[in-house]
Structure 1
């Protein structure tokens, strides 16, 4: 049996094989350890992939440090620019350093926050809500003191598990900015809106439209109503004003009652004209594009069809709108 003293001498003479990486700059590689893999197999595979300099010295180091029994099976992201000691340490924890975090289009701030505890991120819902309501790095088109809600761009993100709430919000806002092309911004200006008000309208359209192809039509209806001094009369704005519906366990109460439509809130577009003061959800790019490139229609009304398709019946007059009601 090779004793501890012999291991120490071997490592002393071969220290460079542990402290120096194979390359100063290395591409990330996926290294998989299967359950039952021996230290010899792991070391040989690392050397064959160009991740360590000497498999024998690496194995001796693991045994000498007592790390050979604590290597975890799993998938690792390693680089040849890591030295042997760093790789040995990395193999002790198979928990990925990054997680996939998904934000669904139309979610409001609180729904995103509620998804955090099961996301793998270390950010708490409370930290996230605070960072959104008081962003450290607001976008240029935010009004003074505005929350970042509405600009938390939906999508699938690969994020560092230990990122802070401020870093998370900044990442989401940066993705929003990346998607705001000059062509898109130009057409937004031609609609007579700034970006902030565009996102407000898009956030309503996102909640109204189940089928994305209808978003330009719904945008057309809202523009027609706004241009003729009519209220938007949008249910999602009332749902947002109501907040959490404890009875049904949802942030979007459905159906609404006649009393709900009278709630005194600046977000209630049945009671107050023009746009609400802030976005009511976080819209996808398609809803923003619908505001920038609305359809041209004569319609002032729409309601859900009675066939369960998720599509809407559009009407030019209130009488036609009543005729579209489910019998």
Structure 2
């Protein structure tokens, strides 16, 4: 009789212990384990992250790191960490969190525009994805890639069309570059290629001319008219004489792309550079900036007119006054020169 009681007591104790362990396991896996007030939070996991680094990223978001790590070990996540951007929703349990980190990499929106060099572009992109600016710049400058893709040191910036794109945060530098090449190829439809050919321009030349248009006017509705001016000059064999190309030539020669030049002087026009359109005919060898799509479309769909000149309109800032003859242009230019002098703009 005494033995039966011992056996029953042992069995009950074992059941209690098992129930307690089961409860602990269930709690560790399925109880909510977040500690933020928003509906969701995001965590960025590096491609080469260790479990300690994952825990450090999650520390502000979860209540109990020890139970998270225990469940991560049990589910095999600790030895199979994947880089990316992941969403953690309020009230998630450890099982949900690990499932999210394992297979729910969410994209980020990457935007860029109007960069004047691939180095500047690399810096801009490195702020938005995992790849650093050095690896991005190296990928952009890779000579084998450029040759195979049909670009060179002057035209390489033309491949990157300003827009907003979706990428996974852990996209590599090469992955970003290759995607941009696909976007560039996709942009040049048969219709756009035909329009470029109609202007006797290659796609790269279209973008180089669009970059000048971009720098000349901030008004997108005026860009087709400005593009028409430059195309008229090209057809007539007249030098483009675009001040932004001279400014770019100065920046390129000095290596300082942050230089601010508000007024181009006569001595600047003598700079010996293939980008100086006061000395070299036709379109520059590459873009002086990254033009917006609106500027590219303006070159492909220019306004038809007989204008050959334009100058800033100081009575309507942002816009320009256009002229068909040099005499008209010189008269129009008086108001601009007067305004520059009144503002004491010397450089």
One fold, TM greater than 0.5? yes
- For residue 278 of structure 1, the aligned residue among 286, 294, 298 is 286
1:145-203 CA-to-partner distances (Å, cap 9, x unmatched) read 66521221101223222222221122222222222232222111122222121121112
Query: Considering only CA atoms, is the larger Rg found in Structure 1 or Structure 2?
Result: 2
**Displacement, 1:127?**
2.5
Q: Is the 8 A contact 2:86 2:106 kept in 1?
A: no
- For residue 268 of structure 2, the aligned residue among 260, 265, 269 is 260
Q: What pairs with 1:33-44 in structure 2 (closer than 5 Å)?
A: 35=36
TM-score (norm 2): 0.65
TM-score (norm 1): 0.69
More helix by share: 2
1:48-85 CA-to-partner distances (Å, cap 9, x unmatched) read xxxxxxxxxxxxx98374569xxxxx97179xxxxx85
1:71-118 CA-to-partner distances (Å, cap 9, x unmatched) read xxx97179xxxxx857426469x9x8543322124654343233245x
**Displacement, 1:269?**
0.6
Return closer, same or farther for 1:89/1:215 CA change in 2, 3 Å cut-off: same
**Displacement, 1:220?**
1.1
**Displacement, 1:316?**
0.8
Structure 1 residue 185 and structure 2 residue 196: aligned?
no
Q: Is the 8 A contact 2:114 2:290 kept in 1?
A: yes
Q: Is the 8 A contact 2:116 2:257 kept in 1?
A: no
1:241-275 CA-to-partner distances (Å, cap 9, x unmatched) read 122799x9825532233222221110111121111
Q: Which runs of 5+ in 1 are unaligned?
A: 19-32, 38-60, 69-73, 79-83
**Displacement, 1:301?**
0.6
Q: Which runs of 5+ in 2 are unaligned?
A: 1-14, 39-64, 73-84, 339-347
Structure 1 residue 76 and structure 2 residue 87: aligned?
yes
Q: Is the 8 A contact 1:245 1:253 kept in 2?
A: no
Return closer, same or farther for 1:257/1:180 CA change in 2, 3 Å cut-off: same
SS in 1 for 2:266: coil
Return closer, same or farther for 1:241/1:146 CA change in 2, 3 Å cut-off: closer
SS in 1 for 2:157: coil
- For residue 303 of structure 2, the aligned residue among 295, 299, 302 is 295
